[in-house]
Amino acid sequence: MIESFIEGNKIFLEKDFERKKDRYMTLVESQHPTVLWIGCSDSRVNAERITHCRAGELFTHRNIGNIVPTHDWNFATVLEYAVRHLKVKDIVICGHSDCGALKALDVDMKGDAYIPMWINNAREAQMRVDARTSDVPTTPEEKAERKKEIEIENVRLQIEHLRTYPLVTEAEKKGCLEVHGLYYDLKTGVLSQVD
């Protein structure tokens, strides 16, 4: 596997790096991303690829379920660096279809120590969706719609979590930061806004 990465790097050097050398040399000195992108670790959802952004445009934090935990040093450090030091103008939380983390909300995760604790950060999204409907989904279409609603509601929930950080609310009040929710559909390739 590592050999394929090395070979892929050779292709990158030839087809991209050498052709855009000036651009990459500016990135050697510093980075100036304007967006903190909070996305899922899912290998199918690459932020730069689905947005057609170049290296240096997004400061990215990925984790299972695109979760914004309210008490996590790793996340808090990324957030603080992005807002205070990089001075990003936007924060995006991007959810996606077929999210395994959110599917796991309905599964008994016996034997797993960390995943159940982590995805509890999204449990409220599931509870909100289930509270809006009194019927238990039975058809494949109803189940798929519930799953999508949970994925989108999770984006909203994580935006709420993000706003528990004082540095975010302060920056929003000053008008120097905007928070956005996005949803990526794997089947269509479409990225859409979450209200």
CATH number at 152 reads: 3.40.1050.10
Name residues whose C-beta falls within 8 Å of residue 43's C-beta, 6 or more positions apart in sequence: none
The per-residue pLDDT for 126 is: 95
96 appears as a binding residue in the annotation: yes
d(CA 190, CA 194): 13
99 appears as a binding residue in the annotation: yes
Q: Can you read off the two tokens belonging to residue 122?
A: 């999204």
Q: If 0-12 CB within 10 Å is exposed, 13-18 middle and 19+ buried, where does residue 182 land?
A: buried
Same domain, 121 and 68: yes
The per-residue pLDDT for 135 is: 79
| Phi, psi at 115, each rounded to 5° | -60, -50
Q: Give, for all 195 residues of the chain, the pLDDT tens digit.
A: 899 999 999 899 899 888 998 888 888 988 999 999 999 999 999 999 999 999 999 999 999 999 999 999 999 999 999 999 999 999 999 999 999 999 999 888 788 999 999 999 999 999 999 999 877 778 889 889 999 999 999 999 999 999 999 999 999 999 999 999 999 999 999 999 999
Same domain, 100 and 122: yes
Same domain, 25 and 100: no
Same domain, 68 and 16: no
The per-residue pLDDT for 134 is: 73
> Are 71 and 161 spatial neighbours (Cβ–Cβ below 8 Å)?
no
Same domain, 72 and 148: yes
The per-residue pLDDT for 56 is: 93
> Are 20 and 72 spatial neighbours (Cβ–Cβ below 8 Å)?
no
Name residues whose C-beta falls within 8 Å of residue 105's C-beta, 6 or more positions apart in sequence: 119, 122, 123, 126, 150
Number of structural domains found in the chain: 2
The per-residue pLDDT for 111 is: 86
85 appears as a binding residue in the annotation: no
Query: Could you list the residue range(s) of the whole structural domain that residue 16 is in?
Result: 1-30
